[in-house]
Amino acid sequence: MASPRRGWTNEQMDWIISAVLRAGVTLAALTVLAGGALYLVKYGGQIADYRAFHGEPTRLRTVSGIVTSALSLSGRGIIELGLLLLILTPVARVAFSVAAFAWQRDRTYVVVTLIVLAVLLCNLVGGYR
């Protein structure tokens, strides 16, 4: 006789995972919206100069720079933080899945999900090299 599994049912896991994804996307959208509004308040009246391309400032090319810029209430920094939150939303979903499968003692899915999480993190961290 098989021992009963402990932990969440598949339906409960699906509901929690969908809540994590909804919360992540909503938080990211609200953050980008707030940053965009702040940016428009500060720079909305300026005329754009399209003759020369100006790339992203160097301070907004690292996670620490984005967080520092957002904490100083820079509109561009807050927008970038929102985009970073949007990128991290599926990573949080996979991390939650690892914990949920471990709670259910489903070793096969824990291993597979850890591989997926490792691939995601390697691409996020090593993608700029």
Q: What is the DSSP string of the chain?
A: -PPPPPS--HHHHHHHHHHHHHHHHHHHHHHHHHHHHHHHHHHTTSPP--SS-----GGGSSHHHHHHHHHTT-HHHHHHHHHHHHHHHHHHHHHHHHHHHHHTT-HHHHHHHHHHHHHHHHHHHHTT-
Residue identified by tokens 């691939």 is 119
Under the banding of pLDDT at 50, 70 and 90, the label for residue 111 is: very high
Res. 128: pLDDT tops 60: no
Q: Output the pLDDT for position 6.
A: 62
Res. 25: pLDDT tops 80: yes
pTM, rounded to two decimals: 0.79
Q: Output the pLDDT for position 78.
A: 96
What length is written for the chain?
A: 129
Under the banding of pLDDT at 50, 70 and 90, the label for residue 2 is: very low
State the average pLDDT over residues 64-85.
Answer: 94
State the average pLDDT over residues 89-113.
Answer: 91
Dig out the tokens for 21 from the structure.
């994804």
In sequence order, which residues have a C-beta less than 8 Å from that of residue 92 and are 6 or more positions away?
20, 24
State the average pLDDT over residues 36-65.
Answer: 87
